[in-house]
Amino acid sequence: MKVLIPTPLRQYAEKKAAVDVNAATVGEALHALTSQHGDLRRHLFSDDGKLRSFVNVYVNDEDIRYLAKENTPVKDNDTISIVPSIAGGIDR
Partner 1 sequence: MPGMLKISESALNQLRAHGEQTYPHECCGVLLGQDNGDSERWVTHAVACGNTRTDSPENRYNIDPKELIRIQLDAREQGLDILGFYHSHPDHPARWSSTDLAEAHWFGCSYVITSVTNGKAQNTNSFLLAGDEESKRFEDEQVEVVEQPDESRAMAD
Is-contact 10 88, C-beta < 8 A?
A: no
- Rank residues 5 and 21 by Cβ distance to partner 1 and give the closer one: 5
Distance separating alpha carbons of residues 78 and 53, to the nearest angstrom = 23
Closest CA to 64 of 3, 8, 19: 3
* 7 contacts partner 1 (rule: CB under 8 A): yes
Q: How many residues bind partner 1 (CB under 8 A)?
A: 25
Q: Is 6 in the site for partner 1 (CB under 8 A)?
A: yes
By the criterion CB under 8 A, which residues form the site for partner 1?
A: 4, 6-8, 11, 17, 43, 52, 54-56, 58, 61, 63, 81, 83-92
